Amino acid sequence: MQSRARIASYTLDWLLASDNEEAGRLDAGPEITRLPYALPPEVGEAWAESLALRDGIVLFRAVHALAPSPPGQLVPLMDAHTVADEPMFNAQIWLSGLGCHHEYPLGNHRPPVEIVAGPGRDTFRLYRKWRARILVEGGGISEMRSVIMPDAMLRSLLGEAAGQHLLDSLGLGEARPTVVRPMPAHISAPLLAAMSDQYLGAARKLYAQARVLDYLASLYCHVSADLAGRAERPHHERIQALHHHLTHLEGRMPTLSDLAGEFGLPARRLNAEFTAKYGQSIFCFVINHRLELAHASLSSSALPMKVLAARLGYSHVNHFIAAFKRKFGYPPGSLRKKSPGIPKSKPGIGTGTDRPDRG
C-alpha cells in the first residue's frame, strides 16, 4: 500500500503519484496561439499572440516592426470585422508606437470615426459589431496589449453595479462604443503581465485571470473614485470557507469565476476580502500553499523535480526553483541533499538538483 505523506491534515498523494495520466490531466489548460500578419517584406513584419481563457476572456499581444513610412503617413495593417452574440468589452493598451483605427460604428455607408491611441492613452470599447481598418506608425517597433471579454463576464468579475458604473464612468454605451482615455501606467501593469510564460495549464489560466481581475479592479477604482472608498459589509464565514476550500483542492486548480459562483460573491469582492483577511490574494495563496506542499514532499520522495514543478503548474523547473528559493531562502535541491535515504533519480531524467541555484 502506498504511504500517504501529509502536511498538517492535507494529503500529498496527488502531488507524489506516479500516474503520468493524472499528472497530464492536472496540467490541462490554455496555450498561447501566435499568428503572423500578412505584410510585404518591404513593409516589415508584425505578429499577434492570443491566450483564450475559455471563460470568454481573451488576451492579445501584438508587435509591429515596420520600415519607415513618409512623414504623417500610417501603415495599414489589416481590416477587421467582428460580430459577437453578446456585448463585448475591450481594453487596449499601447506600450510603444502609435495606433490608429478607422472604425465604422454606424456602418460602411457613414464616414469612419478615427481613434488614435498611444502610450498613456488607452482605448475602451463596448460592442456587438465592430468593423475597423487598423493602421500603425512606421519606422520602429510598436507593441500593443489587449483584453476582450463578454460584458456579462465583466459584471460577473466586478459585480453588476460596479461593472455598470465602470462602463458609465468610461462613457461607453450604444451612442459611444469607443473612447480613448488618459491612463496612468500603474493601472495597466497587471494586464501587461497577464500573458506570462512562467506557468502552464490550469495554473496559467488562474494566473492570467487573476491579473485581469487586478487590472479591472484598479481601473474601476481609478475611474470610480467616488465609490471606491465606500465601506462594504465583509463576509467572514464565506472567506473562511473559501480558505478551507483552497487548502483541500488536492491538485485541481480553481478559476476565479468558478469560485465567485460557488461562494456567491463577485470575484473582485471575493479576492479583496480574502486578501484583507489572509494578507495575500487568492492566486498568491494557492501558489504559496503548493510550495509548502512541495517542501514537505521533497525530503520524502524521489519524484523528479521537473515532474514536481509541472504538477505544481510551472512551465519550467527553473521557475519552480526560483519561486521556492524566494519563499524559503534556499533551493529545493538542498532538502534532498540532507536526505541521503532517498534513491537518486536515473540518469537523463533531469531533476534540476545538479544545479539547484539555476533559475
pLDDT tens, residue by residue, 119-153: 999 999 999 999 999 999 898 899 999 999 999 99
pLDDT tens, residue by residue, 76-91: 998 999 999 999 999 9
Percentage of the chain lying above the pLDDT 90 cut: 59
Residues of the chain with CATH 2.60.120.10: 34-183
HEC assignment per residue over the chain: CCCCCEECCEECHHHHCCCHHHHHHHCCCCCEEEEECCCCCCCEEEEEEEEECCCCCEEEEEEEEECCCCCCCEEEEEEEEEEEEEEEEEEEEEEECCEEEEECCCCCCCCCEEEEEECCEEEEEEEEEEEEEEEEECCEEEEEEEEEEEHHHHHHHHCHHHHHHHHHHHCCECCECEEEEECCHHHHHHHHCCCCCCECHHHHHHHHHHHHHHHHHHHHHHHCHHHHCCCCCCCHHHHHHHHHHHCCCCCCCCCHHHHHHHHCCCHHHHHHHHHHHHCCCHHHHHHHHHHHHHHHHHCCCCCCHHHHHHHHCECCHHHHHHHHHHHHCCCCHHHHHCCCCCCCCCCCCCCCCCCCCCC
pLDDT value of residue 335: 84
Averaged pLDDT for residues 170-186: 93
Residues of the chain with CATH 1.10.10.60: 1-30+231-359
CATH architecture of 34-183: Sandwich (2.60)
pLDDT tens, residue by residue, 208-228: 999 999 999 999 999 886 444
Percentage of the chain lying above the pLDDT 70 cut: 84
CATH architecture of 1-30+231-359: Orthogonal Bundle (1.10)
